[in-house]
Amino acid sequence: MVTIVDYKAFQKENGEEFYSLVVQGGIEAIKSKESGRTYLTARTTTMACTFNEITCKSLVGSQLPGMIQKVEVEPYDYTDRKTGEIIELTHRYEYLSDEDAIINDNVIKQEEVY
């Protein structure tokens, strides 16, 4: 299950405002690469929606079946808001419904043969 924990307003190129829901997965124990110590975290991502601000606000606290999955992507630069440090990332997180998770776990991906 994921929980809607917030929403964010964005602006299209034409100036029109739209909203995305911020969803968070369950608690995970992760081992730090630097210190080797274990800490707790929860994966978070945004989901586009067609709702207005009032609806988005009312949905905070609601739960959806599914999970947040780490997805490999082309490298991109990310600026840490706290430190200003720019780092290169090769992944992002996205919401995956229970149905999509079953399909991903049970379908063999097609490989390119040359």
**What tens-digit pLDDT sequence spans the chain (114 residues)?**
999 999 999 998 998 999 999 999 999 999 988 888 999 999 999 999 999 999 999 999 999 999 998 888 999 998 888 888 998 989 999 998 877 777 776 766 666 666
Question: Rg (Cα) of the chain, in Å, rounded?
Answer: 17
How much is the pTM? 0.75
Return d(Cα 29, Cα 38) in angstroms, integer. Answer: 6
Return d(Cα 51, Cα 45) in angstroms, integer. Answer: 17
**pLDDT value at residue 22:** 97
- End-to-end C-alpha distance for the chain, whole angstroms: 41
**pLDDT value at residue 112:** 62
